[in-house]
Structure formats: C-alpha cells, structure tokens
C-alpha cells in the first residue's frame, strides 16, 4: 500500500504505523467485537493503570504503567499493544460503524460517502474475493511474461509501480521537495526493491538472521507454488529472488545513514542519470509516468542505483521476470483470496512479528479505506469527533509550547546569539496543523464500484500515484497533510517546517478535556513539544526556516549540539531491548532527544498556564506528580519478542519503557517531585540535556 508520508518526517510513535502495514484475513474476530457509534472513554490519567507498589524512584515506568501492562495483554491479532494501539483500535471500530452504515444504506450518500461506503462493501465481500482467486493478478503476470527483452523493463516498472504503489519493484519512485530549494517539487528515485523489512536482514550473519532468510525463501517458494510452479522450480526461483534482493541490499544505505539528508541528496540531470545507469533507459521509464519533460531527479542513493544497473546488466531476462513475478504477487497478496493472505500472514506477521492470529476482515478493510481514501473517511471522522472547542483548546496548548520553546532558546547558555536568531526565526515560521486539513482532497476521479474490489484498489493506487507525480514541477502546496485525520500519531516535517496533529491523536486518553491541566500538559503537551523539538534534532536542525537543507549553525554551536546529543546516544546505548540486543541509539537519538526536550517544554508551558491557579491533589497525587504520571501513561505498552527484534533493527523510537525511564532520569524536576535520591535508579549522575 502506498505510503504518502514525507521521506524525512519524524513521528511521535510507531504503534500505528505498525498496525497499518499488517495484512489480515477472514475469521478470528475476537468475540463480541462490534462497530462503535461512540468512543469508549478512558481518562488520560488512569490510577488503575498504575502500580502503586512499585517505587517511582526505582522504576517510574512500572509505577505508572504496571497496572496497564497487567490488565492489557497483547491481543492475538497484534504484534504489540499500547495506549496508542488501543486508541487506534477504538478509532478503527468507530470508523467501522461509519463505513458499515454507508455500505448498508446507499440512498442519500454524497459522492465521497459513496466511494468509501462501496469500497468497504466490496472489501467485505469475501465470497466475491474467494471466487476471484488469483485472477486479479493475471493482468500484471501477463505483462511481466510479455516482456520480450530488457529494453522493455523501464516501461513495465513504471506500470507496476503505478498500479500497486509498491516500492518492491527494483526501486522506489515518487516526488518530494528539493532539499536544496524547498519551494520546488522534483522527482525522487529512492532505494527499494526488497521483500524483507530492511537491508540488514540480508547481510547479518548471526544464527537468527540466517534462520529468517531460510524461512523467507520458503515463503517466496510457497508463493511461486501458488502461482502454479512445480516445487523444484519454485525453490530455485525463490533462491534467485533472495540472491537478487541481496545484491540490492548490499548496495543500500544502512538505516542510521539515512538519517543524514546529505547522504540522500544527489540531484542529477538526465545526462548524469543516464551515465549512472547505462543499462536503464530513464526516458522509457519517465514517459509513461507523464514525466517525459523532467530535467533533473534526486537519485537518493547513487551506489544503490549503480547496483540496480549492474543487476539489470548481468541478470538473465528470465531471472528478472522471476523477481518481478514475486513482487507482483507480494504486492497484490493483501487483496487476493484467503490462501494468498494466509501465506503472507504466516511469514510477515507470524514469523517476523510473532503475531498469533490474523486480524479480522473488518479491521483490514477499515485500514484500507483510511490508507487509500483517507481524507474522504477523515471528513466523516472529524465531523463526529473534533469540534471547534477541541480545536481551539489544542491550538492554544500548541501556541503555549511554542512560547516555551522561544523562552528556552533565549535562555540557552551553550548557543551563540547568531544561531539563536536563526533558531527563533525557524520557530516563528513553523506552521501548526491541528485536527484536519483546511481543504479536503477531491477523490472524484477515483471510480469505486461495489462489485470490483481489486479494480477499486488499482484505481485508488493509480489516483494517488498520479497525484504524487503531478506535483513535480508545480508550485508547492504547503497546506497538504501527510497523515489522515483519524490517525493516532503526529509528525514534524523538516522540509515543510510544520507540525501535524491529526484529530485521531487529540482524543482521550491522550488529550482529555474532562481532566485537569497536569496530565494533559504531560501527555499531549509533551507530544507537541516532542514534534517542535524535531525541528531542531540531528536531522531537523540541518534544514532552515523555509525547509532548505542549509547549515545555519555557527560551528562552535553545532559542536556543542553534537556533544549534548552524544550524551543521549551513550545513555540509551546501555538499555537492552530484548535478549542481548541493545538500543541502536544512533538511530533513536532524534526521538530520544525530542522526548526529553518535549517534556521540558511541556513542563514550562504547564507552569505558565497554571501560574495564577491554586492546584489541588487528586487521587493521592500532587499536581506535579500528575504531570509526570500523565506523561508516562501515553507510553504504556506490551510487546512480543519477535516484534522487539524487528523494531530494534528498523524503528527510530526507543521502547516505551525507556521513553519514560530514560527521560525522567535527566529531569531534576522529576527528582524533586518524587523526592528521589542518588543512587536510586531514576536519578542519573550524568544528566543529559539539549534543550
């Protein structure tokens, strides 16, 4: 499925991105699940989620989340479970209610209600999907089979990428703001072409990685058998796929290196692109995408494209077809009959993430509508859940936290006035997007029919693919959102210099209009601060106020910054994720620093907000304690070991436990609030602080 999120945007939390990628199938509906017509209410500070027997100075995460962890075992269709995941599921059930009604009552629907209602109805029609079997795949397989020579490859890749929105066909291609001139949208040719979640899965040599590759080959072979190959041929073809993907993986950047935008910026004109890939005709690729006139493209990873070129030059036509056949089946599997979905689930969710059971069909269909027609669905969601009062309150909180950041920057003792001036200019230019976009996307060109499920998927993919590519060479639309309104997540985009808070993340138990300020500033305030801070993290700080990749830091200040973030890298490197795997803290430093900076800013904003109020204790907690417990309770989670291993390799976020404990040890405000004393574990002898 297409991911429209900007290349560099950084998120608060990974829970929902996970949920959106997992495929699912029929049956196994946890008993009693029904569509919702209203949200179930959980307060943003829930004392029953705490473990009062734990000592907050020894393990603050256990103290704040011990009850939650006990009461919330991981559901059998989930890889992990969290406060975010649970809210995401409530959102899904609420959207299910909306879609179910629109699917059942065709009379009186407007155009966009027709589209989402009929998409959902077609997606839920398992009888028709079963009857279609592998037939929907036939068109793509026939195009691959018909390729007569390698010079036909570029046009075929253009077609397959556009039809599926999948990045598995040798490389990934789309549009993005030019790093050097953020007002321009240019073509981006990025790395891709893999089946496993990251390049390291192909190159790691430990026993666990070797075992996974064996299981991956078995999975690919089983898919080839489904397509009608004899077992020996299927096994041979699967080995070919692994070999080709390994060549691409070896040439791909490591995930840590991809945090450095300079390593992803190589703007080449057409002649230079031709030179880099002499065996790949860019003209033949760009023309069917209606980009024949494009003068330059950003080849994010030239070394990767050299490997693509070498692969095209050396692989036989038959092997290239084998590789494409696998990726076509893999991209289509979530939309085909049960046997395809079952196979995909068995490897990608059960083996890789430890999920015991497939998701019920309704969840998968809701997630698809959100991914493919998200602003049409979002419009329905917003009209029911996000009134003007909520928008005004959350916007006010955002402004207060921006003021806190201004004050914080002005007071910094390690930054020169010249750099401060630039930092404040960036802060003042930052745009707050709260709840939903000002202008809704128009889906009228997307044809959606109740009796053509696979056609709907292709039409929606094509619409989104063309929409992304049509931006190239046009003025930038700064009002666009990279997440849909029901999403339980938030992001900062350094190229747009905007923070984005969808309506879905501004609901209880995250933002709770019924509760006092303390937990709200700790929780949602901390998240707003987190996103603001991303504008100034190891990645975001390299972009200026207008979103251009440009160094605006005095050298000595940059050095100070690096030294301070190194403190966080060293601290988090000590924490264990699972078994003997430690946090890859060079990958997580941006998020870890944003967590810390965000809560410091939220604390300042809360102090300003409540300066003239008399605050009272509640539930045996002081207001200060409620601030910190309110913060911690956003991060309560349970995780499966397989999923923890996957995240340790790919996720820029630390596990929830350390997003709480790793943070509070750095805050003297916390130490005072709970009267902790060294050498208790929640008191750090060497405190880290950037902002």
Residues forming contacts to Zn ion in the complex (CB under 5 A) are 10, 12, 591, 594
Strands (E), 80-143: 80-82
Of 297 and 490, the one with the shorter C-beta distance to Zn ion is 490
How large is the angle between the packed helices 111-124 and 374-385, nearest 10 degrees?
110
Asked if residues 26 and 126 have their Cβ atoms less than 8 Å apart, the reply is: yes
Query: Minimum distance from CB of 10 to Zn ion (Å)?
Result: 4
Q: What does the DSSP 8-state code read for residue 490?
A: -
Q: Kind of pairing, strands 498-502 and 431-435?
A: parallel
3-state secondary structure at position 72: coil
Query: Minimum distance from CB of 284 to Zn ion (Å)?
Result: 40
Shortest-Cβ-distance residue relative to Zn ion: 10
Of 593 and 648, the one with the shorter C-beta distance to Zn ion is 593
Query: Minimum distance from CB of 427 to Zn ion (Å)?
Result: 17
Of 276 and 532, the one with the shorter C-beta distance to Zn ion is 532
The dihedral of CA 128, 131, 136, 139: what is its sign? Answer: negative
Asked if residues 673 and 623 have their Cβ atoms less than 8 Å apart, the reply is: no
Query: Minimum distance from CB of 534 to Zn ion (Å)?
Result: 6
DSSP characters for 384-426?
Answer: HH--HHHHHHHHHHHHHHHHHHHHHHHH-SSS-HHHHHHHHHH
- Single out the residue of 388, 649, 429 nearest to residue 552, CA to CA: 429
CA distance 202 to 304: 15
The separation between CA 418 and the C-alpha centre of its own chain, rounded to angstroms, equals 35
Query: Minimum distance from CB of 84 to Zn ion (Å)?
Result: 13
Tokens of 213: 């590759």
Query: Minimum distance from CB of 652 to Zn ion (Å)?
Result: 8
Peptide bond into 679 cis (omega under 30): yes
Of 330 and 659, the one with the shorter C-beta distance to Zn ion is 659
Query: Minimum distance from CB of 583 to Zn ion (Å)?
Result: 15
- Distance in angstroms between the alpha carbons of the first and the last residue of the chain: 37
Query: Minimum distance from CB of 573 to Zn ion (Å)?
Result: 19
Of 301 and 592, the one with the shorter C-beta distance to Zn ion is 592
Residue ranges of alpha helices (H) inside 535-667 are 555-573, 585-609, 623-632, 641-650, 656-664
- Single out the residue of 240, 222, 195, 192 nearest to residue 346, CA to CA: 222
Of 136 and 526, the one with the shorter C-beta distance to Zn ion is 526
Of 588 and 644, the one with the shorter C-beta distance to Zn ion is 588
Query: Minimum distance from CB of 494 to Zn ion (Å)?
Result: 12
Peptide bond into 509 cis (omega under 30): yes
Of 12 and 510, the one with the shorter C-beta distance to Zn ion is 12
Of 464 and 591, the one with the shorter C-beta distance to Zn ion is 591
């Amino acid at each position: 499925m297409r991911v429209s999120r900007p290349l560099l945007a950084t998120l608060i939390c990974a829970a929902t991105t996970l949920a959106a990628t997992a495929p699912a199938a029929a049956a196994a509906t946890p008993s009693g699940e029904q569509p919702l017509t209203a949200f179930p209410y959980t307060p943003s500070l829930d004392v029953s989620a705490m473990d009062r027997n734990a000592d907050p100075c020894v393990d603050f995460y256990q103290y704040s989340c011990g009850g939650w962890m006990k009461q919330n075992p991981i559901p059998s269709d989930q890889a992990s479970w969290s406060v975010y995941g649970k809210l995401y599921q409530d959102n899904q059930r609420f959207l299910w209610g909306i879609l179910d009604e629109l699917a059942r009552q065709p009379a009186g629907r407007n155009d966009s209600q027709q589209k989402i209602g009929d998409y959902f109805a077609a997606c839920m029609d398992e009888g028709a999907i079963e009857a279609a079997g592998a037939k929907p795949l036939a068109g793509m397989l026939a195009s691959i089979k018909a390729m007569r020579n390698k010079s036909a490859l570029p046009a075929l890749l253009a077609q397959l990428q556009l039809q599926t929105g999948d990045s598995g066909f040798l490389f990934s291609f789309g549009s993005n703001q030019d790093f050097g001139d953020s007002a321009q949208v240019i073509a981006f040719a990025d790395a891709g072409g893999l089946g496993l979640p990251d390049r390291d899965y192909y190159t790691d040599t430990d026993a666990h990685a070797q075992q996974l590759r064996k299981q991956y080959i078995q999975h690919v072979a089983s898919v080839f058998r489904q397509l009608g190959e004899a077992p020996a041929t299927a096994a041979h073809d699967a080995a070919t796929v692994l070999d080709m993907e390994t060549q691409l993986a070896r040439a791909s950047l490591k995930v840590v290196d991809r945090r450095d935008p300079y390593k992803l910026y190589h703007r080449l004109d057409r002649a230079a692109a031709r030179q880099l890939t002499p065996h790949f005709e860019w003209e033949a690729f760009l023309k069917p995408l209606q980009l024949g006139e494009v003068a330059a493209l950003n080849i994010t990873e030239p070394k990767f494209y050299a490997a693509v070129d070498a692969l095209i030059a050396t692989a036989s036509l038959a092997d290239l077809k084998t590789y494409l056949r696998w990726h076509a089946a893999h991209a289509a599997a979530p939309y085909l009959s049960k046997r395809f979905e079952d196979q995909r689930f068995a490897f990608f969710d059960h083996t890789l993430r430890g999920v015991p059971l497939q998701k019920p069909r309704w969840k998968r269909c809701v997630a698809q509508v959100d991914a493919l027609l998200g602003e049409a669905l979002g419009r329905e969601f917003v009209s029911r859940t996000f009134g003007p009062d909520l928008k005004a309150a959350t916007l006010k909180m955002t402004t207060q936290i921006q003021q806190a950041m201004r004050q914080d920057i002005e007071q910094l003792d390690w930054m020169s006035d010249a750099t401060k001036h630039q930092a404040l200019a960036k802060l003042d230019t930052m745009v707050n997007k709260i709840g939903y976009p000002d202008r809704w996307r128009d889906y009228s060109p997307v044809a959606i029919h109740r009796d053509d499920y696979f056609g709907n998927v292709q039409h929606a993919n094509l619409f989104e693919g063309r929409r992304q590519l049509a931006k190239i060479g046009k003025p930038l639309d700064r009002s666009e959102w990279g997440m849909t309104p029901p999403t339980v997540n938030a992001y900062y985009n350094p190229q747009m210099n905007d923070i984005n808070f969808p309506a879905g993340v501004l609901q209880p138990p995250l933002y709770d209009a019924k509760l006092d300020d303390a937990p709200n500033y700790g929780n949602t305030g901390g998240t707003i601060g987190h996103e603001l801070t991303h504008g100034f993290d190891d990645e975001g700080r390299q972009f200026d106020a207008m979103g251009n990749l440009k160094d605006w830091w005095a050298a000595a200040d940059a050095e100070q910054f690096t030294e301070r973030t190194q403190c966080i890298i060293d601290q988090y490197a000590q924490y264990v994720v699972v078994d003997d795997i430690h946090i890859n803290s060079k990958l997580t430093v941006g998020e870890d620093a944003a967590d810390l900076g965000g809560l410091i800013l939220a604390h300042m904003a809360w102090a300003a907000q409540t300066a003239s109020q008399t605050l009272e204790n509640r539930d045996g907690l002081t207001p200060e304690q409620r601030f910190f417990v309110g913060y911690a309770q956003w991060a309560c989670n349970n995780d499966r070991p397989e999923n923890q291993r996957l995240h340790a390799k790919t996720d820029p976020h630390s596990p929830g436990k350390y997003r709480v404990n790793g943070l509070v040890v750095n805050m003297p405000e916390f130490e005072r609030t709970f009267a902790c004393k060294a050498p208790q574990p929640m008191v750090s002898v060497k405190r880290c602080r950037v902002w």
